[in-house]
Amino acid sequence: MNRRVFHDNNARIICDLVNRIMCSMELDLLFVYGNPPEQLSGLYSAITVEFIDNIEMVNDNNSMLLMYINEDADYSFEREWLRNRYMNITAIIWGNGGIVDAYFNSFGTLHNLEMLSGNEAKMVLVGGVFNMPFLVFAPEDFRVLAIIHIYNEEDVIENTIRHLREHDVDVYCIDNWSTDKSYEKVLKLAENEADHVFVERFPKEGGTEYYDWYHQLERTEEISKELNYQWYIHYDADEIRIPPWKQVKLRDAIYYIDSLGYNIIENSVIDFKLTTESDDSIFMRDNTFFVFRNMGRRSRQLKTWKNVGEIDLKSSGGHVARIPYPRVFPLKILNRHYPFRFLNQAMDKVFKYRNPRYEKEHRERGWHGHYNCYEEKHNFIYDADECFLWDKSTFTAYYIPLFFECGFKTDIDQEELAPIAECEIYEGETVAIYGAGKYGMNVYRKLSFSHKVIAWVDQDFRYFQTMYCKRIESPEILSKTDSDKVVIAIKDSNTAKNVMAELVSNGIDKNKLLGITSARDEIIVGRISQ
């Protein structure tokens, strides 16, 4: 399976990385030094690319450098230039492996792209964002709390809590009235570490027939507002979080990320699979097998956030912690996820504890549906040849997909989107887009390559970071922006009409307003019917 899931040329992998880094750092100027062998056609349209023949032309701190080593030459000057700016510049150096190794191996880990693309090349990530300095330790008053919801997790909960405590993270468990020994095990740990491990049962009144994830997440929000911690982690009992720096504790990593000005951290997720019918648990073990969860899926997990006094976790079903004015760190924290640890546990989880209890909330909110297709004779055993092996070399060998989620052939940022048809936006016209949800993202990706998008706005602009290197702004800017057309990219037609009426009342020319509908194979942009 290994290489088949990744891009087969290095330029595409590099473009994925540049897009991810520049979008997170809210940059839009890329200096390219050297001559890439392949065209950098996968970059976001909002990125301005400036090719330079002298590295000293990089003169803007709000930019990124892409440096290609394409010949056997002396790079001593470039090495010293970078060394003098090491912590204040963001750069990717890639190309001939031997030359990169000879001149730039002291700047960080050498990433072997041959492991992904099959093409011989190496890459070094340069800058303080990527390379956490040695001897950076969080002070005692910098506190991080992991909040864990548990229900019948007695086989893993002790190891999960011990892992977090080894990383100097405090733990608050919310037990949903487990019927096994989960609660008793956490209670014992809480007695031994009364200042660092806490447990309660929810709801207080007692157990319920159906699972109520919405109100459990609401309880997490309450705890994060009641307790005095600097950062919070929405954590599952069956997962292990791994920082993007080896032998660095999770609390220290979060402290360093905080010191750089970021306030939320995204997760990449790998799901470990059973490959034998053994009763031995695979939890936290080496030489076990996994798959990349989000490969080709439009799914994000932002579950580690700074305490800014405002948090909404429940509206996303726990996948995204919504805080105002998020700044997402470019690197991700890896989530090693073990939903199934051995065969009997897997069958009990799906057919005994999960599907019957989750049915009500699945009907009402559409949540928890990913196990509904499982039948009693479901085969939980995967072919190891279709998975990736987790061992002591995996962290380094697959660093780019593990900690950036970049390089996949089906990368969601580069996927083929539905074509725009019946478009009433003509060549040379400028465009403003209202809506930054799925529809807005699709429209922006298509229109930005053929038209100049001078504004992208959303009513919830405070909760969006830069997307595709384009800043999401308040709708109020539309009255100050002289665009030829305004596309209202909202799925619900009634909401779209209400937005149109509001814009007209604010002085926007009605003839400029367009809406979208989505057919099976195309996006249609046209007039909004009255």
Q: What DSSP line would sit under 56-116, residue for residue?
A: GG---TTSEEEEEE-SS---HHHHHHHHTTGGG--EEEEE-HHHHHHHHGGGSPPEETHHH
> Is residue 21 within 8 Å of 29, Cβ to Cβ?
no
User: Which stretch of DSSP H or E encloses residue 197?
Assistant: strand 197-201
- More reliable by pLDDT, 366 or 311: 311
The percent of residues above 70 in pLDDT, for the chain, comes to 88
Distance CA 30, CA 47 (A): 7
With bands split at pLDDT 50, 70 and 90, how would you rate the model's confidence at 415? very low
Report the candidate in 245, 228, 268 with the shortest Cα–Cα distance to residue 145: 228
- 324: cis peptide before it, omega within 30°? no
With bands split at pLDDT 50, 70 and 90, how would you rate the model's confidence at 207? confident
Q: Is the pLDDT of residue 526 over 60?
A: no
- Estimate to the nearest angstrom the gap between the alpha carbon of 473 and the chain centroid: 21
Which range, 185-189, 213-217, 513-517, is most confident? 185-189
> Is residue 342 within 8 Å of 282, Cβ to Cβ?
yes
Alpha carbon dihedral 423, 427, 431, 433, in 10-degree steps, equals: 30
CA distances from 159 to 156, 283, 284 (A): 6, 9, 9
pLDDT at 520: 45
Q: Give me the domains of the chain, ranges plus CATH numbers.
A: 2-126 (3.40.50), 144-382 (3.90.550), 420-526 (3.40.50.720)
pLDDT at 424: 73
Q: Which two tokens stand for residue 182?
A: 């989960």
pLDDT tens digit sequence for 222-276:
999 999 999 999 999 999 999 999 999 999 999 999 999 999 999 999 999 999 9
Instruction: Please state whether 88 falls in left (phi above 0), alpha (psi between -120 and 50) or beta.
Output: alpha
> Looking at 304-318, 359-373, 481-495, 508-522, which range is the least confident one?
359-373
pLDDT tens digit sequence for 130-167:
999 888 999 999 999 999 999 999 999 999 999 999 99
With bands split at pLDDT 50, 70 and 90, how would you rate the model's confidence at 412? very low
pLDDT at 413: 43
Q: Is the pLDDT of residue 390 over 80?
A: yes
- Rounded to two decimals, the pTM is 0.92
> Looking at 90-99, 122-131, 359-368, 402-411, which range is the least confident one?
359-368
Report the candidate in 257, 241, 297 with the shortest Cα–Cα distance to residue 24: 257
Region 425-431 average pLDDT = 85
Angle at which helix 97-104 crosses helix 76-83, to 10 degrees, equals 50
